[in-house]
Amino acid sequence: MRTQDWFVYDQAIVNGLENNLLNFINDYVEELKNYYEDVYLIRNERKIKIVEIGGTRGFMPDFLLYLKNKELTYQVFLEPKGDNLLEKDKWKEDFLLSLSTNEDVEILSENEDVRLLGIKFYNDKPQLKSEFREDFKRKLLK
């Protein structure tokens, strides 16, 4: 992704699943640019931590997709998840999905025009990858 202007790093250490997610995003970047003025993918290097509402568990999503149009800025949390962690980390996926609909989410920023979005986990299994694709398209390509 070194030559891609939408990926903010010229180098990143990623595993195979994360690399597949990068390729997935690459396949949709031009379409995203039809909807958004700015499209950037950021590898979360232990900078952003989110904590569940009403709970104590927190985690650092692997990627943040930053999308900006004339009205809003979207911060989309993306989390590739291997088969061995799908069940154990189900609470994380549930939390990410709740971001899009939970009105109790308070965004601490200077700008009230920011929206947080969570998408289903990315996984290479055909069924789960298809579900991710549908969730991605439904929430971001509207």
Do the domain assignments include residue 73? yes
Cα 74 to Cα 69: distance, rounded to the nearest angstrom:
9
More confident residue, 89 or 9: 89
- Is there a domain that residue 92 lies in? yes
Q: Is residue 106 part of a domain?
A: yes
Question: Does the residue 126 lie in any domain?
Answer: yes
Tokens of 46: 């232990």
The predicted structure's pLDDT at residue 13: 61
- Average pLDDT over the chain reads 85
| 7 in any annotated domain | no
User: How much is the pLDDT for 128?
Assistant: 96
Sole residue written with tokens 């694709």:
133
The answer to whether 123 and 83 are in contact (CB under 8 A) is yes
For 23-80, what is each residue's pLDDT tens digit?
999 999 999 999 999 999 988 877 777 877 777 888 889 899 999 999 899 999 999 9
Alpha-carbon distance 44 to 60, whole Å?
7
Would you say residue 6 lies in a domain?
A: no
**Could you give the CA distance from residue 108 to residue 14 in angstroms, rounded to a whole number?**
29
Range of the structural domain that residue 67 is part of: 16-140
- Please report whether residue 3 resides in a domain: no
More confident residue, 100 or 108: 100
Q: Model pTM? A: 0.82
Report the domain count for the chain. 1
Residue 66 forms part of a structural domain: yes
